[in-house]
Structure 1
Amino acid sequence: MNNFSNKHRQKLTEQLTCEEFDVLVIGGGITGSGIALDAATRGMKTALVEMQDFAAGTSSRSTKLVHGGLRYLKQLEVKMVAEVGKERAVVYENAPHVTVPEWMMLPFHKNGNFGPLSTSVGLRVYDFLAGVKRSERRKMLNREETLNRAPLLKKDGLLGSGYYVEYRTDDARLTIEAAKEAARNGAVLINYTKVTDFIYEGSKAVGVTAEDQWTGKTYQIKARKIINAAGPWVDTLRSKDGSKHGKHLRLTKGIHLVFDQSVFPLDQAVYFDTPDDRMVFAIPRDGKTYAGTTDTVYEGDPAQPNMTVEDRQYVLDAVNYMFPDVNISSGDVESSWAGLRPLIYEEGKDPSEISRKDEVWEHKSGILTIAGGKLTGYRKMAEIVVDKVSKKLKEEHNIMYQPCQTKQWPLSGGDVGGSESFNQFVNEKVQTGIQIGLSEQEAETLAKRYGSNVDVLFEYVEKRKQEADHSSLPPSIYAQVMYAVEEEMTGTLTDFFIRRTGALFFNINWVHQWKEEVQKLMGEELEWSEEQHERYRTELEDALLDAVKPVNEERKENLTS
């Protein structure tokens, strides 16, 4: 049985109810998935429940960078820069199919926040702290070199730029690959399952009551140790446990806008300062350019953060300020997303100044909560938490486990011989794909997206070609849908179009083109009822609308009524 498929949901549920686990993780974002992987690879009997889909919260709504935290040098967060900078390289080596080096330009203008000296010194310190390899260390570019790489930059007062490497990622797929690897190592993970209460023996938490969000059925899961890694919802769970004391979360919202390259032609990623002293990214990706982010306090429903008219205008104004010849407007926005940062509240600090550091809190009930942190540091965060669990299990149950194994442990799809071999791997797989009838572009897309799992998709293309011919789905799309359903715990249309493929953000026309055929195939495979067909279709249509239209006052009333 593949233990990461919603086709086997009933058996997974039975497994969760029949066994006692060493560790139960609440939350299927990158933090929770990373913890599940760490625990499982040490030999712990591990379970994970996620209220929505894997990565449905913060972990599919970031700036999609595994970056070293250059901005935190400005706040003198030296330790954080050193830690996450080094972790960047680890993430890249373990998952080169979802992490790509991206040279980033940091332009400086006369009377701007940055100058040649401060930029040069800052980037040099950054290289040192983050342990950046020689080939990726910073360079300083003069005005002419800067404009050669980014001719649309504001020329008035331009002095030059710093040039350094960040790592672009698919945040949702990074999360999925971590979760799949945890499952491959014995962890039991399930999505659309909400923790409604904790179970106690005396004062100690020994399990949870969970509710299946599709069927409404409730069941109990027993575990020696429970880890609250619920991101924006960690305080909700702390309240259930009666342990919401002292520090708490402050949610801030960030939005990103997506433009077609024909509207915003950008070949070079740029990280630039705005008139109000904030920093914004503009990044090319797959024929699109996306820009963001905002940083505003958010107090609404964590499951439904929406872009407002003001959010959209802020990013448009920032882009037009730094790229005045582009002259974009709201009508040029092809797609967008809004996400939340679950930060640890610091009295009197502006949202953009609040530290992104993570903290682990142990409550009287024995529950561990991990809060804050960054995408880049997920593996190290997991190591710290599971170290604490391992120590407790040894003290309380005399059980010994291995130390952390994940520093050189490829994620699912990452077994390609390391980052230096990835391009060769892709070239070889493209030839294989062409031999079975795919176009070069289709084969390359699959190889880059799925890494060493691409052979499984090629099997779907070959062995199920006859089945695919019964629909109008091309074999490459058919293979992705089948793989998502049978190997990636996909249960709804938004799971597929947002978190398994990223298409709703970066290829929204493709979603419109294929949504009906994908719905038909998924419905057949997962035996959807008419009610499910309607619900998932409506959910996708709402997501498509949210991607292009900001929330105005009228829609706010509709959403809250």
Structure 2
Amino acid sequence: MDRQKNVERLRQELFDICIIGAGASGAGAALDAALRGYRVALVDRGDFSGETSARSTKLIHGGVRYLEQAVKNFDLAQLKQVRHGLAERRTVLRNAPHLAHPLALLTPVFSAFEGLYISIGLQLYSFFARHDSFPQGRWLSKKEAFAKSPMLTPRMHSAVLYYDGQLNDARYALALTHSADEAGAAVANYVAVTGFDKKDGMLTAATVQDELTGETFTIRAKLFLNCTGPYSDAVRLLANPTLDRRIRPSKGVHIVLPRETLNSDCAILIPKTSDGRVVFAIPFEDKVFVGTTDDDYRDLNSEPVLEPAEVDYLLETLQPYLAKTPDRSAVQSGFGGIRPLIVSSRADTKTLLRDHEVEHDPQSGLLSLLGGKWTTYRLMAQDAIDRVGEILSQTAKGSTETHYLVGGENYRFDDWATLQSRYNLPADVCQHLMRTYGTRAERVAQLTHEQPELAERLTDNQPFIAAEVVYQVRQEMAMTPRDVLARRWRLELADWQLTAQITPKIAHLMATELGWSDTQSREQITAYQNLLASFRKRAGLSSFVSEIMLY
């Protein structure tokens, strides 16, 4: 992805559709539209998947909670969500097998009745997913449960096992964007929409600012699609100030603990909490993510961050399910996201439907894709682009259900051994490259032949190498250290201190590629390290070791 060329296209071309927001739904819509032959622009005011789409629980699922509510309340809408979610779960895993895979989840239970109740529910869940190749779930004895997850509490009676999907959310959204670019879309990050031009009240162009250079220009399009998630109302009101607000933002946070917290490849589903939520403890790479919360969020101008009360809540929720519960000192990082819940008459955000809606404003012509969740991003995008075809009187059939994303086609994880033999890289590095870039992994490894110094590991206890940063700048439009460390890798989510420690190395590599001066490099390093330190302070955790603050 070449940002300079794409920005020039945005300036010059007339597009059929300009999509605002490059998270899961926006990137998915851009790919769908480009594959149908539309002329597509995709822009985001920040990095690709820089907000909600990169801060999920990393699960692809039909929704066990929705199934329970559907059965209890005879709610066919909830049941429909479960069926759609399970169908899309299969597609998400198929189209990017390097970024998504099945995940075993255990639900510890404390009585035979509770085990029977949950087991019946998950059997129904498996029935709706019967066309999948996922392993079958079952009710485990206490001994069997300990064999799979040895850190569970000895007070449990037994446990119920089932399977859902897990994905690397930020890289999956990036793969959608990259695939859209290769299908012909003009995509660019750090391009913020600041206003619209209109003719007879209808949108004809968007005024945008390049956040990296400060330059302003216009993007001309026949139709504009708003895919900005929790920020959708801001774009809707920019296009038509008379519209009512439709989004009720909800904040969800996760804390991150060492892998040894579970010492297992199985996640834990905590089916009931003191306030009626569902919480997961999920192994992800070498960490465990615990979340999520669900609370109203008002300050959309501020990044959602981990607060002390949220840390305490999640640790307390985990406590009854483990033999030994970590304390606050074990928390290595955390992250918050904002769900884009559609306004309804229901009482609180835990019961709001997370289905989606394609809204067309006849006064301005703006389309808005509202609500939804990661699992059904492709259906959301398909519905939106179907509507685009109707409005433009230019219909074409979608093909995303069977379209492999960048790095996904012909992927075989075992090819890491071939990579190792060709490039003489460590086994863990080659495995990491395959899981991160799929069949594009060799393009990263090839850089180490051209410049042997790029084979250097950037930290002893992680498989990241310098060649990846160069590749991410050249091919994946990484423009800041945070783009690399928070999204193209997931290190910011996993370990704030280690992220701050290696930021100078990342900035040095990026400076060479992007032509930064020493002053610009120092500014990038200082700003990011200060941000990471502020996250830790806001969460009420101890400060970083001072020696890592190099600038």
Same fold (TM over 0.5): yes
Change (3 A) 1:243 1:283: same
The aligned runs of 1:435-446 (5 Å cut-off) are: 435-446=422-433
Partner of 2:249: 251
Moved more, 524-533 or 351-360: 524-533
Change (3 A) 1:460 1:303: farther
Query: Is contact 2:149–2:263 with CA below 8 Å preserved after alignment?
Result: no
Partner of 2:357: 359
- How far does residue 40 in structure 1 lie from its aligned partner after superposition? 0.4
Partner of 1:331: 329
Query: Is contact 2:151–2:262 with CA below 8 Å preserved after alignment?
Result: no
- How far does residue 15 in structure 1 lie from its aligned partner after superposition? 1.0
- Unaligned segments of structure 1, at least 5 residues: 395-399, 417-421, 556-561
In 1, the alpha carbon distance for the partners of 2:519 and 2:54 equals: 27
- How far does residue 278 in structure 1 lie from its aligned partner after superposition? 1.8
The aligned runs of 1:111-190 (5 Å cut-off) are: 115-133=114-132, 135-156=134-155, 158-190=156-188
Letter in 1 for 2:482: T
Partner of 1:559: none
Q: Deviations over 1:309-352 (max 9, x none)?
A: 111111111111221x3231111101111111111122342221
- How far does residue 263 in structure 1 lie from its aligned partner after superposition? 4.8
Partner of 2:84: 83
Change (3 A) 1:500 1:257: same
Query: Which of 528, 531, 538 pairs up with 2:516?
Result: 528
The aligned runs of 1:89-488 (5 Å cut-off) are: 89-110=90-111, 115-133=114-132, 135-156=134-155, 158-242=156-240, 245-246=243-244, 248-272=246-270, 273-323=272-322, 325-364=323-362, 365-394=364-393, 400-416=394-410, 422=411, 425-465=412-452, 477-488=465-476
Query: Is contact 2:194–2:208 with CA below 8 Å preserved after alignment?
Result: yes
Partner of 1:558: none
Letter in 2 for 1:5: D
Relative to the length of structure 1, the TM-score reads: 0.90
What is the identity percentage for the equivalent residue pairs of Structure 1 and Structure 2? 31
Question: 2:2 matched to 1:5?
Answer: yes
Query: Which of 26, 49, 57 pairs up with 2:51?
Result: 57
In 2, the alpha carbon distance for the partners of 1:471 and 1:356 equals: 40
**Number of aligned residues:** 532
In 1, the alpha carbon distance for the partners of 2:438 and 2:212 equals: 31
Query: Is contact 2:455–2:465 with CA below 8 Å preserved after alignment?
Result: no
- How far does residue 28 in structure 1 lie from its aligned partner after superposition? 0.8
Relative to the length of structure 2, the TM-score reads: 0.91
Moved more, 57-66 or 141-150: 141-150
Letter in 2 for 1:88: R
Partner of 1:419: none
In 1, the alpha carbon distance for the partners of 2:458 and 2:132 equals: 49
Query: Which of 9, 28, 33 pairs up with 1:15?
Result: 9
In 1, the alpha carbon distance for the partners of 2:463 and 2:227 equals: 38
- How far does residue 529 in structure 1 lie from its aligned partner after superposition? 3.8
- How far does residue 288 in structure 1 lie from its aligned partner after superposition? 1.7
Change (3 A) 1:126 1:507: same
Name the SS of the counterpart of 1:166 in structure 2: strand
- How far does residue 261 in structure 1 lie from its aligned partner after superposition? 2.5
Cα RMSD for the two superposed structures: 2.4
In 2, the alpha carbon distance for the partners of 1:135 and 1:466 equals: 42
In 2, the alpha carbon distance for the partners of 1:513 and 1:116 equals: 46
Query: Is contact 2:59–2:165 with CA below 8 Å preserved after alignment?
Result: yes
Change (3 A) 1:45 1:538: same
Change (3 A) 1:303 1:99: farther
Name the SS of the counterpart of 1:275 in structure 2: coil
Query: Is contact 1:139–1:162 with CA below 8 Å preserved after alignment?
Result: yes
Q: Deviations over 1:22-50 (max 9, x none)?
A: 11000011110000000001111000110
Partner of 2:29: 35
In 2, the alpha carbon distance for the partners of 1:468 and 1:269 equals: 33
- Unaligned segments of structure 2, at least 5 residues: 71-77, 544-551
Partner of 1:491: 479
Moved more, 515-524 or 218-227: 515-524
Change (3 A) 1:221 1:131: farther
- How far does residue 244 in structure 1 lie from its aligned partner after superposition? 5.9
Query: Is contact 2:178–2:406 with CA below 8 Å preserved after alignment?
Result: yes
In 1, the alpha carbon distance for the partners of 2:279 and 2:500 equals: 30
